[in-house]
Amino acid sequence: MDLLITVFLPLALAIIMFSLGLGLTLDDFRRVFLSPKAFGIGALSQVVILPIVAYAVVILFRLPAELAVGLMILSFCPGGVTSNILTKFARGDLALSISLTGIVSLVSVVTVPLLVAFTADHFMGVDAPPVNVTSLAIAMFVITALPVALGMAVRHFAPGLTATIERFVERLAVALFVIVVVGALAANWTLFVENLAVLGPAVVVLNAVLLSIGLGIARLFALDGRQATAISIETGIQNATLGITVGSLIVEQASALPPFSLPSGVYGITMYVVSLPFVFWRRGLVD
């Protein structure tokens, strides 16, 4: 288990983020200025509304302190490769989805450590683990922002290589994601079973509410159907692997994945159950 936490988990996340970078170009960042309204609404939904809804779910389901912190960690995470894939399948605005994922992922290097420290102190008080914001930010930069930048560099300077390896890296990222989720559940199996009746419904409700809110806000601001689909999925689908990793990083010298990682692990499974009917529904609306 030590090897899983110290080597495999960070490596898995780095590969997943490298896969994300392979799909990004500078135009994806310029698009923010070309479509500021759609991007601004999507970013607001992810960065502000998502944590507020997660906090309400924590209170509603009365989650134990460690699981409450874990669910909040998940809410601070950006969308990942999965949100882009689901947006593409749902025939949403893929360019908008990629832009949101890429930029919010980079911003999260700063926001996540600060919010995690605040949340841990809020829910756990004196029992909260000491969160070194600087160390967590550096670790997140190394395993998230740096691989994204490297993936973008490969795409820009070696398009032929990108075309050759992109599909393999995407499949590898999915396989690693599955292994990470299974590891998180196995390491916390007793806690998982004890809290399944509460944690399961909590993450399902969170996912369903966020999909609905993302769609509703997009419609409220008169965005088109494809943009609304992208924003809804970006709001409702988070990077569960990052949530699991951050949960392990805030515990010094952990010999097993901590309870802080469990909500992200459970969510990594239930998000497909919740989101796929929505994805098929949105796909059916587009000719």
Backbone CA torsion sign across 247, 138, 42, 23 = negative
Q: How far apart, in whole angstroms, are the C-alpha atoms of residue 112 and residue 239?
A: 12
Q: What is the pLDDT of residue 3?
A: 57
Residues of the chain with pLDDT under 50: 287
Q: What is the pLDDT of residue 18?
A: 87
Q: What is the pLDDT of residue 186?
A: 76
For residues 45 and 231, the answer to whether their CB atoms sit within 8 Å is: yes
For residues 189 and 249, the answer to whether their CB atoms sit within 8 Å is: no
Residue 151, domain CATH: 1.20.1530.20
Q: What is the pLDDT of residue 247?
A: 87
**Residue keyed to tokens 């990793």:** 245
Amino acid at 174: V
Q: What is the pLDDT of residue 287?
A: 45
Q: Which domain holds residue 11?
A: 2-284
Q: What is the pLDDT of residue 70?
A: 93
- C-alpha 213: how far from chain center: 17
Report DSSP state, residue 259. Answer: G
What total number of domains does the chain contain? 1
